[in-house]
Structure 1
Amino acid sequence: MKTGGCHLKKNLQIWTVVILTLFLFPVIIQFIPEESKISNSKIIKENALIVYASNIVEEEVPDEEPEMIVEAEPEQKIGNLLLYFTHSTEAYQPITKNIDGKVAVSHHQTENVIRMGDKLKAQLDLYGLETDTFKKAVPYTRAYQDMRPYVKKRISEKEYDLIIDIHRDSVGPEKTTLVHGTERYAKVAFVVGTDNPNYKKNEAMTNRLKEEMEKRIPGITRNVIPKGGAGVDGKYNQDLHPNIILLELGGIGNTEDELSRTIAVIAESIKEIIDQIEEK
């Protein structure tokens, strides 16, 4: 009986402590310093804020957009020009001699007026002019008749503002060379076929190019040579289009430097004419 009384006494003591603690806790908590409460509360709030901010950042980051590639617009070309070569193998003796190291010849398969035409095209391209080159080799004899169907076909396929048939004159350098300032130029002559019933239109465009060249380098052109009647072609296919110009670029004895300087003047003059056409 004594042992049971001891257990009962201990139980009563435990319950007494528990009950006192529950009643006294509200009183005790009032004596805890306010700073301690604020600090604990602040830590809880800051932790909550940090977590919340992290979530917001994740939600606000947009998906990475693919990089935009802006394609450059193609250069706008102006005008429509055609270069062709009825006598495609006509060459310049100083050039062929330098290339082959042999006695100069007046005809060559590669060093000829076609290569000069490529130089002119390159200059015209720099000015933004749309330029086609037509390189069809035909036999030298009856060249205009053999070339005619090819030129006619090209003209029917596309509308051109200016067409130039590039040749080389057979006269010597004393007639085809100009010294202007400190530079030497190959002089240019023109041919107009008067058996073409509308040759006046070709002549007008030819004179237009001649005048533009003379404005830049006085004396760089020779004459506009009219040809018709017996013993000559008389049309030179100029009847196929009112703006076909037959141009004699230098002569048999002109050097590449002289020709290149003249080609630059021709290109600049053509650009001026095309600009005038575009304005209209």
Structure 2
Amino acid sequence: MLRYKLLSAAVSSFLLIGTMNVAYASSPVLQEKAFIIQPDIQGEVKAAYARSTVDRLNVRTKPNLTASIVEKIGKSKKYEVLDTQEEWVKIKLSDDSSGWVFHQYIEYEKAKPASAEVKPAGADSTETQPAAGTDTPQNQATVVNIVDVTNLRSGPGTEYDITGKAQPGETYPIVETEGDWYLVTLPDQSTAYVASWVVQTDFLSRNGIAIPPAITDAEFAPALYIYHTHNQESWKNIARNTKGTSVDDPEVNITLVGKHLSQLLQEKGIPALAGEEDITKRLKEENLNFSQSYKVSRKAVEKAMQEHPSLSYFFDIHRDANVPREKTTATIDGKSYARILFVIGTAHAGYEENKAFAEALNELLNEKYPGLSRGILTKSVHQGNGEYNQSLSPGSLLMEIGGTNNTLQESLHAAEAIADVFAEYYGSRNASAPDKQLAAVKATKRNA
């Protein structure tokens, strides 16, 4: 039994909380969920009022993501619930008009609210605001937060002179972004550059994204380790780095899918651990080439194995490249999923065991989610890395979830399917263990 209590994650959309211009369907985020009063048998909510759980929640004219935004509300006020429709809640606004909000960013209350006032669009007294006269889009960061002693440089690169040191806890407004560097304003109104991979920004909070807290219980014995060799892989509709063939983002990327999968499995009683190693940051810090990503991620896996001897399974989760959307997307029971491709490296002696593991999960996927799997792809050393750290354990897999043309929401839906399938696989494997032990005891008695 696990010795901790896991905070569940709600899945919703960037478009619910930001005014992002996207090409595809909405992209959900992970948001720590407050206690919610559940609907009754007839599906009606037994609560009179609703409150937003994020700082900016879009109120729309109709219960869908393509409807116009009429207001933005914050956490401070409660609003009368007028109606519910599937995943949407209709609320009464302060001017007696009404609008629809997404249910997973709402907590319900029965208490009578104070007069409901609407936050002006973009207003947020708890966040550092851009300078007067500027209009910062929701999908851009406005400040950097220093988390460790950081070099301030005269230009956007490590070859430029160091002009000073930023200390942990300091915060600087962002003037502009240049590649992997931020130009920031210092207290004396001068400017300097800081590397994006050594700081944090307010991007997640500006978009209402709360990253699930890491599990720190010393008695936690994980069975599955989830990591990301290419941890900044993102999606075209939200990525902030789209130079050349790159579709990357330092904060909104494939790691959110891994965290979601970890939480889903933990909720099913399976001890899963989402790794925190930032491979991209490590490559830059050590001045290593991108081709050495698997060498760096292998060290992270080996470290996890040393710290947690209980680990038996290892998922390296990626997002595929610019594959046509029709090939990487499946619709099942009206829900859009990013399709899953299993990749097995054959450049090591034990690859057949990895392949058998992939085949077992692939079979379950085909049974429970027809059309979701893209199958199993074997790759030799002449077709890529060829090994993908899979020689470390027969329970190692690399999974490509969707491609650049999918969305975060579709990828999270895929994670839900993986959690469902792996839970069944894991349960069947562990359920048989006591029977095997009993059989061994009986055989020993017979031989005696």
Alpha-carbon separation, structure 2, partners of 1:184 and 1:230: 34
Partner SS for 1:155: helix
Supply the RMSD in Å over aligned alpha carbons. Answer: 2.6
User: In the alignment, is residue 155 of structure 1 matched against residue 296 of structure 2?
Assistant: no
Higher share of residues assigned helix: 1
Alpha-carbon separation, structure 1, partners of 2:351 and 2:246: 34
Alpha-carbon separation, structure 2, partners of 1:156 and 1:172: 40
Alpha-carbon separation, structure 1, partners of 2:234 and 2:262: 18
Amino acid in structure 2 at the alignment position of 1:121: S
Correspondence for 1:164: 315
Could you say if the C-alpha distance between residues 77 and 156 of structure 1 is closer, same or farther in structure 2, counting changes exceeding 3 Å? closer
Q: Which moved more, 1:159-168 or 1:195-204?
A: 159-168
Structure 2 length-normalised TM: 0.43
State the Cα distance separating 1:115 from its structure 2 match: 1.0
Could you say if the C-alpha distance between residues 191 and 269 of structure 1 is closer, same or farther in structure 2, counting changes exceeding 3 Å? same
Deviation digits for residues 140-194 of structure 1, max 9, x if unmatched? 3310112222212222332223210000100231210012242221100011010
Q: Which moved more, 1:133-142 or 1:81-90?
A: 133-142
Alpha-carbon separation, structure 2, partners of 1:120 and 1:230: 31
Alpha-carbon separation, structure 1, partners of 2:413 and 2:246: 22
Q: Which structure has more RCO (C-alpha within 8 Å, separation ≥ 6)? A: 1
Q: Which of 77, 80, 88 does residue 223 from structure 2 map onto? A: 80
Amino acid in structure 2 at the alignment position of 1:159: S
* Alpha-carbon contact 1:89-1:114 (below 8 Å) kept: yes
Partner SS for 2:409: helix
Q: Which of 391, 398, 403 does residue 251 from structure 1 map onto? A: 403
State the Cα distance separating 1:231 from its structure 2 match: 5.1
Partner SS for 1:142: helix
* Alpha-carbon contact 2:221-2:310 (below 8 Å) kept: no
For structure 2, the residue ranges without an aligned partner over 5 or more in a row are 6-218, 284-289, 433-448
For structure 1, the residue ranges without an aligned partner over 5 or more in a row are 1-72
Could you say if the C-alpha distance between residues 209 and 77 of structure 1 is closer, same or farther in structure 2, counting changes exceeding 3 Å? farther
Structure 1 length-normalised TM: 0.67
Correspondence for 2:346: 194
Correspondence for 1:143: 293
Q: Which of 318, 321, 334 does residue 182 from structure 1 map onto? A: 334
Correspondence for 1:31: none
Correspondence for 1:223: 375
User: In the alignment, is residue 92 of structure 1 matched against residue 92 of structure 2?
Assistant: no
Higher share of residues assigned strand: 2
Could you say if the C-alpha distance between residues 274 and 78 of structure 1 is closer, same or farther in structure 2, counting changes exceeding 3 Å? farther
* Alpha-carbon contact 1:193-1:234 (below 8 Å) kept: yes
| Mapping of residues 1-280 of structure 1, within 5 Å | 80-96=223-239, 106-138=247-279, 139=283, 140-157=290-307, 158-170=309-321, 171-230=323-382, 232-280=384-432
Correspondence for 1:11: none
